[in-house]
Chains A and B, each alone.
Chain A
């Protein structure tokens, strides 16, 4: 015990932390703790593997070509050969080979033994594709098309006209007054994906944030922190740390999803989706930060970990309402909700993607969302600061608002 200590005045600077942005220290700790948490890392890796596996399966099943063998007697040979030669032109996943047989009995035997997938033969008033125990949908579809085409050609010839003339004017196409059809379908898929990601991210990272707040409160380490740095810095650090984690995770998932998508036949969609994704990310960040501040308050209102579930209930409901609202809202309700935070976080980028919102609408909605986020942060800071050092049980928002400091 001979160590001598220098006077304390020399070791700490005069402006200890206020000038040094203590929130960066807090944010960094939040990130490091999470990245070294085995459960978090395993969960993320498992999700990535699932996304990759799903995409891989999609790509594999889309690329797979089915080869069918069709038995036909010499009388039906011409139609079978036409099927074989034009099948791939109708459906590039279907290839057909012909196995000539002597008679109907031989054809039946071949199908029963499994050497042929089906027997194509003519009956009165049409054609029959006979399989053993189950019919092949792809083969049936292609055969229907080939037979219809061949029959039409033959009958048009008999009538002294052409297939084109017979079919002229019978085509029906669709069009939309607002937006376009291809985009609408795409928008639906992408919007669902993002609404789901937003829901999962706000819920999982929200609960993580609320728990980390109450853990500090429960162990009273918050008293040490609150006497080291301003509480506002602690709140900002926690929100930034968790937002960075959430957004990084979402970008990772979306990135793997997009790379996977580019390997499937839907590759052309990647470019179509990439632009609107930026809108989603911008709204995602603003919406997430506003909600994160509320999650921090939910954590601060509780005194013990077990109480978080009840203090966070209103927030859980809100997050679910945003998710289901994004799925089911329609018409005027959807347009109105696309300006209302936090619903706008998902609905406005969806409308931009659908092509039903002008760019200035998105800018207005974003401005409202950011303003709401700032307001929520201010209210949350007061609630958080006042609730944080109250250790006698669960608090209501009102109690926290009026609590003495």
Chain B
């Protein structure tokens, strides 16, 4: 497990990351969410040891992380870039060798990964001859190739088409399933919601929410959708709820006092047929807007 404890980084007078703490647990995907300038990249660079730390610490398997540990992590930096003029396979092998892999083993592993991304025909091409999306896939392969002990990926999904997003997600899940903690940043909330077991929401350098996706959603207001066979205007009279919206025969209500939704249901059943009465789970986007506001 990777523990981030009170990480702080200042650039001049601005505090880019301010006492950020969260865990990246083994075997699951942790999504790192936040707007531009929230401090995601700065945090990841500190975790990788690329950027100095002004305060706090990073712990790996229960002790302070060392450069030796960090070298066995897989990392994909924010701005993409491998060697534009070097051939795809050659540079993957080179980077894996720097991580301590044997050339022959690296070559085989690189070919296997390229195949999974449908890039096996491009192994001999120069990187700059590939589309940006394909370059990004190569970039991710570079981070995964040496079977890292942890994965830190800055915006791995940006710029990928839906098919590539799926194969990337599969690959990340697979790596996580071997017991590896995976942290990736994104501002595509729907994607994070779909993929992640846990997420950390960052805003202006601080963690504003973190936990499992369901856990975070349950923190949101509890709402029920009501659909009747006649006008639903009467809900405005019920106590203990807040009426978010009434539109003819349907209504959306927020429960203010526990149990008030049962009163609504009884009243509705007494007045006629109830077509629908269901809790509405807030989308992560709503939670995000609320906590990051």
Flag if B178 contacts A6 (CB, 8 Å): yes
Q: At the interface, yes or no: A226 with Cβ under 8 Å from chain B? A: yes
Contact of A220 among B49, B81, B101, B146 (CB under 8 A): B81
B143 to chain A: closest residue by CB: A224
User: For the complex, what is the distance from the CA of A282 to the CA of B202, rounded to whole Å?
Assistant: 57
By a CB distance below 8 angstroms, the chain A residues around B170 are 1
User: Across the interface, do B179 and A7 meet the contact criterion of CB distance under 8 Å?
Assistant: yes
How many angstroms from the CA of A12 to the CA of B83 in the assembled complex?
24
Whether the Cβ atoms of B48 and A22 lie closer than 8 Å is no
Q: In the assembled complex, how far is the CB of residue B24 from the closest CB belonging to chain A, in whole angstroms?
A: 15
* B86: interface (CB < 8 Å): yes
Is the Cβ of A5 less than 8 Å from the Cβ of B147?
Answer: yes
A15, A220, A404 — most chain B CB neighbours (10 Å): A220
| In contact, B95 and A1 (Cβ under 8 angstroms) | no
Give chain B residues whose Cβ lies under 8 Å from the Cβ of A15. 100
Q: Tell me whether A20 and B100 are in contact (CB under 8 A).
A: yes
Q: Mark B88-114, 1 if CB is under 8 A from A, else 0.
A: 000000110111110001000000100
Are A226's CB and B50's CB within 8 A?
yes
In the assembled complex, the Cα of A367 lies from the Cα of B148 at a distance in Å of: 45
Among B67, B72, B77, contact of A224 (Cβ-Cβ < 8 Å): B77
B45 adjacent to chain A (CB < 8 Å): yes
Instruction: Determine if B190 is an interface residue (Cβ-Cβ < 8 Å).
Output: no
In the assembled complex, B256 has its CB within 8 A of some CB on chain A = no
B68 near A219 (CB under 8 angstroms)? no
Instruction: Give min CB distance, A63 to chain B, whole Å.
Output: 46
Measured between alpha carbons, how far is A15 from B50 in the docked complex, in Å?
20
Which of B45, B79, B98 sits near A17, CB closer than 8 Å? B98
Task: Output the least CB separation between B110 and chain A (Å).
Answer: 13
Query: Is the C-beta of A124 less than 8 angstroms from some C-beta in chain B?
Result: no
Could you tell me the distance between the alpha carbons of A10 and B167 in the complex, rounded to whole angstroms?
25
- Give residues of chain A (356-405) contacting chain B, Cβ–Cβ below 8 Å: 389, 404-405
Residue of B nearest to A229 (CB): B98
Contact B98 A225 (CB under 8 A): yes
Quick check: is B116 within 8 A (CB to CB) of the other chain?
Answer: yes
Point out the residues of chain B lying under 8 angstroms from A221, CB to CB: 81-83
- Find out whether the CB atom of B94 lies under 8 angstroms from the CB atom of A227: no
Q: Which of A11-57 contact B (CB under 8 A)?
A: 11-13, 15-18, 20, 22, 25-26, 29, 33
B98 touches A7 (CB 8 A): no
Which residue of A1, A18, A20 is within 8 Å of B116 (Cβ)? A1
Complex CA gap A11/B149 in Å reads 10
The contact of A228 among B52, B81, B99, B171, by CB within 8 Å, is B99
Q: A223 to chain B: which residues have CB within 8 Å?
A: 45, 48, 50, 75, 77
How many B residues touch the partner, as a band?
35 or more
**B146–A227 contact, CB under 8 A?**
no
Nearest CB of chain A from residue B7's CB, rounded to whole Å: 15
A222 to chain B: closest CB distance in Å? 9
User: Is A332 an interface residue, CB under 8 A from the partner?
Assistant: no
- Tally of A-B residue pairs with Cβ under 8 A? 107
Residues of A within 8 A of B51 (CB): 389
A221 and B92 CA atoms in complex are apart in Å by 12
**B5 close to chain A: CB less than 8 A:** no
In the complex the two chains form, is A8's CB within 8 Å of B75's CB?
no
CB atoms of A17 and B78 under 8 A apart:
no
B179 to chain A, nearest CB (A): 6
With a cutoff of 8 Å between Cβ atoms, the chain A residues found around residue B82 in the complex are 219, 221
Is A174 engaged at the interface, CB distance under 8 Å to the other chain? no
B148 to chain A, nearest CB (A): 6
Enumerate chain A residues within 8 angstroms of B177, measured Cβ to Cβ.
Answer: 5
Does B72 lie within 8 Å of A22, measured CB to CB? no
Chain A nearest CB: distance from B76 CB in Å?
8
Q: Contact partner of A25 among B52, B77, B97, CB < 8 A?
A: B97
A162 within 8 A of B: no
Q: Is there contact, CB below 8 Å, between B178 and A8?
A: yes
A31 shortest CB reach to chain B, Å = 13
Q: For B76, list chain A residues within 8 Å (CB).
A: 224
B287 to chain A, nearest CB (A): 31
A223 CA to B79 CA, complexed, in Å: 10
Residues of A within 8 A of B70 (CB): 227
| Chain B hits for A224, CB < 8 A | 75-77, 95, 142-143
A33 close to B97 (CB less than 8 A): no
Q: List 18 A-B contacts (CB under 8 A).
A: A1-B116, A1-B174, A7-B178, A8-B178, A17-B71, A17-B100, A20-B100, A22-B98, A25-B97, A26-B98, A33-B83, A220-B80, A223-B50, A224-B77, A224-B95, A224-B142, A230-B67, A404-B52
Residues of A within 8 A of B (CB): 1, 3-13, 15-18, 20, 22, 25-26, 29, 33, 215, 218-221, 223-230, 389, 404-405
B residues contacting A by CB (< 8 A) are: 45, 48-52, 67-68, 70-73, 75-86, 94-95, 97-101, 105, 112, 116, 142-143, 146-149, 167, 170-171, 174-175, 177-180
Sorted from nearest, which 3 A-B pairs have the closest CB atoms?
Answer: A219-B81, A16-B100, A8-B147
